[in-house]
Structure 1
Amino acid sequence: MNRVQDLSILIKLTGERAKLDAKANGTYIVYKTDKGEIVREYANGEIISIKDPDIPHEW
């Protein structure tokens, strides 16, 4: 494999690990979708869009 493929695999594994940690700790992960939207994904599968990513703590 080349470096780009290796990096792609590591990024995917890191995201999967983050989901496991969030589930174990009762929290969520935050990421940017392919459409450029910032979202929170909870362990139960619920995905909530963050309306204004410039606000540090949106409740």
Structure 2
Amino acid sequence: MIILEYILGRYALFVKHYADKCASVSEEDLKYNIAVFSRIISSNSDAVREFILDGY
């Protein structure tokens, strides 16, 4: 699940970077995204596994 958190966090920061017209991403943004995705994935780990096994 850590790989999924990493991918989602990286994608979210990429989108934020370009949505803000290439503004820099702060450390607080990174921490916020890690916390949010960790909570989502850990509370729905069975649903995430099913989603991955069903081929998205």
Q: TM-score, normalised by structure 2?
A: 0.40
User: Which structure would you say has the larger RCO, counting Cα contacts within 8 Å and 6 or more residues apart?
Assistant: 2
Larger of the two Rg values belongs to structure:
1
Q: Under a length normalisation based on structure 1, what TM-score does the superposition of the two structures give?
A: 0.38
Structure with more of its chain in strand, by fraction: 1
